Amino acid sequence: MKNKLVGKNVLITAGAQGIGESITRHFIDSGANVAIHYFSSADVADELVEYATGLGQKAVAISGDLTKEADANALVEKSVEALGGLDILINNAGSLVARRLLNEMDIEFWNKVMDINLTSMMFVTRAASPHLAANTDSSIVNLASLAGRKGGHPGSLVYSTSKGAILTMTRALSSELGPQGIRVNAVAPGLILGTSFHNTHTSKESADATTASIPIQRAGNAADVARAVVYLASEYDGFITGATLDINGGVYNM
């Protein structure tokens, strides 16, 4: 796997916090060049750039609000300019924002979460696809969620809906971009502790109850997800596309 990734150019959205930071580190450790998008984690992004360049690899940190079309386009252009091309896109940016039930929902909140999780992914993928298609084999990995499979916990209606849409977007893109030599897959993480997402939106009581129901009797961690993302991205000569890899310890296995 590492040999396949040496010298490859990778763009990771929200690549400086939580699961995204772990994904970025795994790609760097595999010998890839990285463009690290961030929204607020400038210090970590700079640390990751220093880590990669210290190993002799290209790296750049780029800020931006990906719900804005211009920022998404600029991110891709700056990444290609800094790295010299693009082989892999990791669509990791997303957020629950807050928990709201249906009777608390307003259109502004609905649109905000949809824009963060879904529209931003479309913007970045649309801008990146011509650069990915310029290579013989390229790969996209989208970050979905177990919530997109099961519907999530109460208060995650719009988040779960957006993540379910990412599963469908992944299948649609795999059909559309496959003839251009671009494979498109997704991962759907379950309970991944130690990230700002669950630190913010999941109580200890809820995390403990969920962990108790996991067949392998532990919650996941960011590295569990990162390893799967790197695997899907690295299979340049593989036959896997349009697939979603569930990373949840056996909670959902259909």
Sheet of 9-12, strand order: 59-63, 33-38, 9-12, 88-91, 138-143, 182-189, 244-247
Per the CB < 8 A criterion, the answer to whether 14 and 94 are in contact is: yes
3-state secondary structure of 120: helix
Distance (Å, rounded) from C-alpha 242 to C-alpha 225?
A: 18
Among the options 38, 159, 236, 252, which is catalytic?
A: 159
By DSSP bridging, strand 244-247 and strand 182-189 are: parallel
| Residue 159 annotated to the active site | yes
3-state secondary structure of 194: coil
Measured torsion, CA atoms of residues 159, 165, 169, 170, in degrees rounded to the nearest 10:
70
What does DSSP assign to residue 200?
Answer: H
3-state secondary structure of 226: helix
Give the residue from 129, 104, 120 showing the smallest Cα distance to 67. Answer: 120
Distance (Å, rounded) from C-alpha 33 to C-alpha 49?
A: 10
What are the residue numbers of the active site?
Answer: 159
